[in-house]
Amino acid sequence: MQGWRVGWMGLLLLGVGLLAVYLWPRPKPLTTQPSPPTVVHPASPLAPFAQRAVPVPEDNPQTPAKVELGRRLFFDPRLSKDGKVACASCHKPEFAFSDGGKPVSTGIFGRQGSRNAPSLTNVAFRRHLFWEGRSPRLELQAVGPLTAHDEMGMEPEELAQRLGAIPEYAKAFQEVFGEPPTLKTTTYAIAAFERTLLSYNSPFDRYQAGDDKAMSEAALRGMELFFSEKGDCFHCHVGPEFTDDEPRNTALYTVYKDIGLARATGRDEDVGKFKTPTLRNVALTAPYMHDGSIQTLREAVQHYNQGGQPNLNADALIRPLGLTEAEVDDLVAFLRSLTDESFGTNPAFLPP
Amino acid sequence: MKAWLFLLPLGLASALAAPVELKINLRVGDQPLQFAQTYQTPQGQPYQIELLKFYISEVALVRPDGREVRAEGLVLAEFKREAPTQGVSVMKMDVPAGQYRGIRFNVGVPRELNHLDAGTQQMPLGVNSGMYWAWNPGYIFYRLEGVALLPEGKQKWVIHMGTDAFRIPVRLQDLQTRRVQINIPPTGGSITLNLDVAKAFQPGPGGAFVDWRKQSLRQLHGLSPETSLLMSVVYFNMQTAFSLAN
């Protein structure tokens, strides 16, 4: 009887193993192109994950001129109604393209948003965008902040007119797209720039590349916890990007003021579901959660350690973890080892 | 004789296909809408309208026997300040000349077009339409914007109605009585509709209405518990906001 059980367990483990191998993200040859030229900072070692090809949609191939135009647009506040808000106002390079300590961001005319600006680290690899995860690609995502009344607040006609009246832009759009500026081509250029925002120079990446000394002892212990059932972080923060890109309820509240995915679907079971964020450069992107309500990494880890608030929609994996204070410290050390200090200083990612 | 037979189908075809123009008058109640004018909701909230854009699709004229003559195409009707609001031509179609008992259409984008990649769609769809909903892919079907004149000053409000559940069916046919008569002569004609924009503000069950004093209700576009009832109220009201003008 005992041997029979062991046999079944063995088969089950083999099945899980095969599934994991099958599901592990790998480059898709059909939708990819050779990596764009300016993507990796010269200081970056050849980390294993950096060798993956960036997925590029067929209708928006990367070219150096388009990336350069996208970079200028990304940092230009003239893309907003009051001329004061650029993409980079809330996605600041020095904070891994998040909003530098602000729970929510400030848009045109001082209007407050309602959600925390996410990091753009390796955003080329996101399969779903926005906190609900409802936008399929960067080109279409960019329409949101450009037109939202509390972000940049532009109408398509107004944006086209304003950019068309700036000779450098009129010329650059003509060269890159063969037509005058429109909302669509603006988002295509910005998306091309965003696809170059690659970051693979963290201690964790250097450790992966073979540098045994790259991570501290505490970070290594934290890594073991992170990828164990005990810490149980890796089911959602999975793969080279540390995210499954799926919406989940993390039991942050019992009653959510912002209902998350349900705002779009209207379904009760989607209340409080927000997309799993990447953990790359997470030490630079405080505060945390969709509303920026958790100030520090340690508090974020403690939230999961305690199992959150009672919530019927809470993800099945949310439960008290029983981690000691020392284990929480180790996890935080590991999360800090995901920081790529060169990301925010790469001149290719800074204002032109 | 032979030449006459040869020309017959051509002659019939020209007699059958009459050009028809669909026109719209914007109204507030029974008065023509004026953009800079201040109106009052039934609850006494003063407001002005600044912008109205909406999609019309799946248009069909209804014959006396109930059969429908469908007109292909999707159009984006657009009204903004300093532009006319009366007799505005929004769609052209070809239909067989004859008697009809009404028209029906949907305000919205058909489901099969609503979820395609907006990056690859052309006007009137696509992101340049100003109707693409980035966080909730698909299009805004009915986009009404204005300002409320509140004690603290002018506050902008928007009603963005979309998602497949809120495609607004408009049915202006009547086969039972002879009340609705649309005669399309062989030379063509026009069908003019009144759209009572203020219908959106009629109170719903329990007197529920879009109260612009609450900041959260000035952005009516999602399905949060606070706004979903009001979206349904506006949706219900909009189904009867259109009427035949002539």
ipTM: 0.86
Residues A218 and A117 reside in one and the same domain: no
CB contact under 8 A, B134 and A141: yes
**What kind and span of H or E run contains B149?**
strand B140-150
A49-57: average pLDDT: 90
Domain carrying residue A226: 203-336
The DSSP symbol for A288 reads: B
Q: Confirm whether residue A149 is marked as ligand binding.
A: no
Q: At A37, is the pLDDT very low, low, confident or very high (cuts 50, 70, 90)?
A: very low
From A154, A178, A198, the end of a domain falls on A198
For the stretch B150-206, pLDDT in tens is 999 999 999 999 989 899 999 999 999 888 999 999 999 999 999 999 999 999 999
Q: At A68, is the pLDDT very low, low, confident or very high (cuts 50, 70, 90)?
A: very high
Smallest CA–CA distance, residue A341 to chain B, in Å, is 31
Question: A60 touching B, CB under 8 A?
Answer: yes
A175 occurs within a structural domain: yes
Mean pLDDT of chain A: 91
Q: What does the alpha-carbon distance between residue A88 and residue A75 come to, in Å, rounded to a whole number?
A: 5
Beta carbons of A274 and A131 less than 8 angstroms apart: yes
Name the 3-class secondary structure at B162: strand
Domain ranges of chain B: 17-244
Name the 3-class secondary structure at B71: strand
Q: Confirm whether residue A87 is marked as ligand binding.
A: yes
Please report, for the domain that includes residue A272, its CATH number. Answer: 1.10.760.10
From A167, A198, A229, the end of a domain falls on A198
Residues A212 and A321 reside in one and the same domain: yes
CA distances (Å), A47 to each of A52, A94, A209, in order? 10, 22, 5
Q: What's the total number of domains in chain A? A: 2
Q: Which residue of A has its CA nearest to B228?
A: A266
Residues A192 and A224 reside in one and the same domain: no
* CA A18 to chain CA mean position, Å: 28
B-chain residues near A149 (CB < 8 A): 156, 158, 219
Q: Confirm whether residue A303 is marked as ligand binding.
A: no
Q: Which of B127, B136, B222 sits opposite A184 (nearest CB)?
A: B127
A30 occurs within a structural domain: no
- The residue ranges of chain B whose pLDDT is under 70 are 1-16, 246
For the stretch A87-96, pLDDT in tens is 999 999 999 9
